Structure 1
Amino acid sequence: MSTQRVSTFRHIVSESDVRASFRLIKQLRPHLSSEDEFWLRWQRQTGEGYILDGLFIDDVLVALAGYRIQENLVHGRFFYVEDLVTSEEQRSCGYGESMMSYLSELARSSGCGKLVLDTPLSNSLGHRFYFRCGLLATSLRFNIPVES
């Protein structure tokens, strides 16, 4: 008799859930110094349309995605994925693909014409994953630090 695992996607909205997701977002964003910093940033960003969703397997968080619905002259209305991470211990289990399918469906149901994400040029394993998921590299993003 095999055990059926329960997978659930849900919005991360409570302070306790945001703080609990810090261990996973830290794998993607190691510059975040603490749960407190993450909580404060999440609060500011949600005020600007940021949404954080998690994939839970048997109530254990295994993947996170942070995204916004935006519009600009280049893409029209689009679904921008800012943060996407699967737990290091849970990679190659299909959870990343499940999250990408979930995000693509959210983009479609939100009336977006595209799903867009940025990834560093150095992220070759991520590039391979994105190509497998059907994403194409269509641009480069340039940036320069500015003094405040």
Structure 2
Amino acid sequence: MSLTTAPVFTLKELVTFEELAANYPLLQLLNPHLSQADYEEMLVHMLQHDYKQVAVLNERKEIIGLSGYWIGTKIYSGKYLEMDNVIVLPSYRSQGIGKILCHWMEEKAKAESCKCIMLDAYVVNKDAHRFYFREGFVILGFHMLKNL
């Protein structure tokens, strides 16, 4: 009988422009119309507002899952941590990577004295909705957008 070992995943917080910019191919899976130039231009502004990412790495130190985040305060929620563009490589889905990211975010939010975690999930992303419901998220309202 052979013993199988579970994969070893590690987490890394990413904070520099170079670390974040390198994740463009992964973010493009969730945002196919995003150009690298636009992403890098956005990062310059986002980093000024304390945007960061946390990555899940496999045993070869390749990024297989990722979530951006920042901390803010809103009247209706108080201080919050917002998860942004949560993505897991398709070949690693259903292996607990999303759960690892959510757990890390929850611990970070608690350490930062946040009252809640929030995120946006695209309306068409039904798999993500089921996952977030299992993780204890609820729908509070509609996030509305008007293109200019």
Partner amino acid for 2:51? Y
| Separation (CA, whole Å) in 2 of partners of 1:67 and 1:16 | 17
Return the offset for 1:37.
Answer: 3.3
TM-score by length of 1: 0.88
Return the offset for 1:81.
Answer: 1.1
Residues 104-136 of structure 1, C-alpha deviation per residue, up to 9 Å, x if partnerless? 111111100000011122221110010111111
Return the offset for 1:44.
Answer: 1.8
Partner of 2:23: 21
| Separation (CA, whole Å) in 2 of partners of 1:49 and 1:13 | 9
Partner amino acid for 2:143? R
Partner amino acid for 1:48? H
Partner of 1:52: 53
TM-score by length of 2: 0.88
Output aligned runs, 1:96-111, within 5 Å. 96-111=98-113
Partner of 1:6: 8
* Structure 1 stretches lacking a partner, 5+ long: none
* Structure 2 stretches lacking a partner, 5+ long: none
Partner amino acid for 1:76? G
Partner of 1:142: 144
Partner of 2:44: 43
Inter-CA distance 79–46: structure 2 relative to 1 (3 Å threshold): same
Comparing 93-102 with 5-14, greater Cα deviation is found at 5-14
| Separation (CA, whole Å) in 2 of partners of 1:131 and 1:8 | 25
Return the offset for 1:15.
Answer: 4.7
Identity over the aligned pairs, expressed in percent? 23
Partner of 1:85: 87
Q: Are 2:32 and 1:30 aligned?
A: yes
Return the offset for 1:9.
Answer: 1.2
